Amino acid sequence: MSRRFVPVLALVALLVLASDAAATVGGPCTVEIGGEDIGPREVGAFSEPILVSSERPVSVTMSSEQELDRLEVEMELSGFRWTVHERPSTGTSWASEVPVDDYSDYGLGIYKVVASSSGDGFTCESAALIEITGEDDLSALTTPAGIIGLALALIGAFGVLAIAVRVGRSKTSPIFCGLLGAVFGVGAVVLLQQFAILYPTIWVTVIVVGAGAVVGLALGIFGVTGSEGDARSSPVRT
């Protein structure tokens, strides 16, 4: 096996180990998202999401044998959560919606939906992944999130290469390359999420961005193989 593939395989192994594919239902409740029971589902980086349309809201329902007094529906991405709905509840079940049609104007791809509720002496929290689909395979690049992700990836990649071919001419090259590598990593995470290749858990995000920074730092220290070395070893013509 070529040594070139060792870092790639190591990165894939880290992503798999950090995928955090744990069970998603806690408490004496049953939950459905988009009409599907999420009890047996997992929420790891490579777990299968529920496919939803970008043109209409997604239903979220929770039921319990005991009285429920509160409901909350949240969206999550890379460890960051924001509330979609939160209000008091009565009875043993409730229904809500995730306004996917609003979010799809800004981005597509895979998101985590978290539903939680509480009652007398108990709490329930459940989560599932949803994939907001577009009209075609390249729809993600027509959204602000997809465009920003692509721009960050290109800026980071070409910035690192531009500095790496000039290694030795500036002592700050490794620092700038490391920062640009991290920028590339952020762009890569956004694109992977937008194209529904994986769900960026917080650990996956840290690994990808960190790997980009490390690779950028290495290129900033050693440069692109052959570029600076060839220039230095070329004979001087008289």
pLDDT in the model for residue 225 = 61
Where is average pLDDT lowest: 2-11, 124-133, 195-204? 2-11
pLDDT in the model for residue 168 = 59
* Contact by Cβ (8 Å): 49, 129: yes
What's the CA gap between 50 and 121, in Å, rounded? 31
pLDDT in the model for residue 166 = 79
**9-43 pLDDT, tens per residue?**
455 555 554 455 554 556 789 999 999 998 778 89
Output the 3-class SS for the chain.
Answer: CCCCHHHHHHHHHHHHHCCCCCECEECCEEEEECCEECCCCECCCCCCCEEEECCCCEEEEEEECCCEEEEEEEEEECCEEEEEEEEECCCCEEEEEECHHHHCCCCCEEEEEEEEEEECCEEEEEEEEEEEECCCCCHHHHCHHHHHHHHHHHHHHHHHHHHHCCCCCCCCHHHHHHHHHHHHHHHHHHHHHHCCCCCCCHHHHHHHHHHHHHHHHHHHHHCCCCHHHHHHHCCCCC
For residue 34, report the phi and psi dihedrals to the nearest 5 degrees.
Answer: 65, 25
Domains assigned to the chain = 22-133 (2.70.50.50), 137-233 (no CATH)
pLDDT in the model for residue 233 = 45
Highest mean pLDDT among 18-27, 184-193, 227-236: 184-193
pLDDT in the model for residue 181 = 96
Does the global pTM surpass 0.85?
A: no
Looking only at the bridges linking them, the beta strands covering 122-133 and 50-53 are parallel
What's the CA gap between 225 and 86, in Å, rounded? 56
**71-128 pLDDT, tens per residue?**
999 999 998 999 999 999 999 999 999 999 888 889 999 999 999 999 998 999 999 9
**112-156 pLDDT, tens per residue?**
999 999 999 899 999 999 999 988 889 999 999 999 999 999 999
